[in-house]
Amino acid sequence: MASYKYKMLGFSRKFKMNEVGPPADVKKAFSKFAEGGDHMSADQLRRFLVEHQGDMDSTVADADRIIEQVLHERRDASEGLSLSDFFHFLFHSDLNGPIKSQVHHDMTAPLSHYFIYTGHNSYLTGNQLSSDCSDAPIIKALQRGVRVIELDIWPNSTKDDVLVLHGRTLTTPVKLLKCLQSIKEYAFVKSQYPVIITLEDHLTPNLQAKVAEMLIQIFGEMLYYPQAECLAELPSPESLKHRIVISTKPPKEYLESKDSKDKESILTGERASGGETPGFMAEQEFESQSMLIYINSFDVWQSDSDQDDEEISACDHKSGQRGAPEYKCLISIHSGKPKGSLKNALEVVANKVRRLSLSEQALEKAATNHGTDVVRFTQKHVLRVYPKGTRFTSSNYKPHVGWMHGAQMVAFNMQGYGKLLWSMQGMFRTNGECGYVKKPDFLMQKGPHDEVFDPKITLLVKKTLEVKVYMGDGWHLDFSQTHFDSFSPPDFYTKVRIVGVPADVTKKKTRIIEDDWAPFWDEEFKFPLTVPELALLQIEVREYDRSEKDDFGGQTCLPVSELRPGIHAVPLYDKKGEKLKSVKLLMQFQFV
């Protein structure tokens, strides 16, 4: 027995923490597969892994390795697993995690067939208006598996170098060179699949040439050069392993007058309502009046975002356009701003692949009026969705609207935290956390009359996920004795919810277990799912507080499509998505 002491009113009170023991389901499984014996052999463990856990490829050698590691950790000299050893294995998140840890999707399809882990304003350390620009958040994003890094590039005050910053704000700049060097160093520490750099370009032709020189010198053979000026089909992630891909609009002639350029920038810059109003303010005083104008500009121009934000003539290089030829030749995924209606912007062109960017609001309008056109567009072309410009605090939006319509690049502010960011992190735990998730077949298929998936239609239940929350442990190791309650052990409960298409969204929670560092719930919940391919299981443990807001005790978000059936250890994370050292739940997942 472990004990903890708390002092209240001058008296010392002792609270005991019971030893964690196996639930009844674990005892039952051990008895069944150990065939009534006291120990489970490697062959018996293999049968458990195959028949109960659904690991059809498990071998006796795999079981032997598990037994060897468990007995080594527990300093047990026996030749098989006792019930206590078996329980230790099941509650071991490294040996018995809830999802597959390897890349297992087909990686040979074009890039447009994948959801891609995408950052928004990847260089910002905090809010969208006054935080520092740095390569540090870029490094952190790459370490977490983010595959699309966004850089807004501007001239410096003397117009002889290139800086990265959020235009017309108080954000302090960082040199492009430093950002590119950090991308090279950290691009493939988490995933070997390609990193796409999206450049928001506000440069002169001379500086575009300088950027091309930087890209070539820094990345060398890592840099992917498109074989044609405009690709008819995008390459696959497999073919682009360890490569850097550039996406931006082709160089264009600057507008004739400064006034018209400023207005055009706000109206039709690639971000329009997304907060990317250009203008270099890095080393100038930015008075409150100017800030008021900047903020108010969103009220004026966001209504015009419905006129659409991207130009579709990305490969139509007219004779009037100028720019650095070297720069243009490095652009693999072309983008621009739309001309005409959104429906026209969503037309699929047979021999030209391109990227279209829409704000979260523009996507919602497109989903309402042209939902199937969006799905059809994303079967070949790339759609990038970004946060609306008024998200000054770097908050985020619901990613499932984009995913339901096949949007590959649902761009998120990675520097914050919250349930929406947990959903993004959960989605990209899929496929070995490599940053590329193969889109479900229904988003890529066409019917006999060229019809595609309609996100507006509510489908029938496809399968039901049964989730059993047995118990939790590890808080006493990761938190101080008084973190949750000064005078008694914590009162934990677990919230379990489905995040997905609207028809599937639901939430449940366990009862509160009072005064226990190792709570035992043993409760089961059922979740009928119409689109399990896009469903995420969000799990959050909280500590009940009668007088204040309930304390946070850990969270995780798991892709339902990746869940391994059977009993598994589920590690929990802090609010920012960092894995807690010891905190975990024991849970069971079944599909019926």
Indicate which residues carry an active-site annotation: 120, 166
DSSP-derived secondary structure for 167-215: TTSSPBPEEHHHHHHHHHHHTTSS-SSPEEEEEEE---HHHHHHHHHHH
What letter does residue 504 receive in the DSSP assignment? Answer: G
Tokens 């997942």, residue located = 589
Two tokens at 394? 């770097």
Quick count: other Cβ atoms within 10 Å of Cβ 74? Answer: 15
- Burial-class residue 99 by CB neighbours within 10 Å (0-12, 13-18, 19+): buried
Residues 6+ apart with CB under 8 A from 548: none
Say if residues 148 and 409 touch (Cβ distance below 8 Å): yes
CA 176 vs. chain centroid, Å, equals 25
End-to-end CA distance of the chain: 40
Q: Does the CA dihedral 251-138-408-237 come out positive or negative?
A: positive
- The pairs formed by 27-32 with CB atoms below 8 angstroms and a separation of 24 or more are 27/83, 29/567, 30/83, 30/86, 30/87
| Residues shown for the chain | 592
What letter does residue 548 receive in the DSSP assignment? Answer: S
CA 444 vs. chain centroid, Å, equals 21
Residue type (1 letter), 127: N
* Distance (Å) of CA 382 to CA 46, 110, 111, 372, 503: 44, 11, 8, 15, 26
Can you point out the beta strands (E) in 371-462?
382-386, 409-412, 436-438
Say if residues 111 and 127 touch (Cβ distance below 8 Å): no
Can you point out the beta strands (E) in 433-544?
436-438, 463-473, 492-499, 506-509, 520-529, 536-543
Residue type (1 letter), 386: Y
Q: Does the CA dihedral 52-57-59-62 come out positive or negative?
A: negative
d(CA 557, CA 433): 13
What letter does residue 44 receive in the DSSP assignment? Answer: H
Say if residues 326 and 225 touch (Cβ distance below 8 Å): no
Instruction: For Cα atoms 277, 278, 284, give the angle at the middle one, nearest 5 degrees.
Output: 115
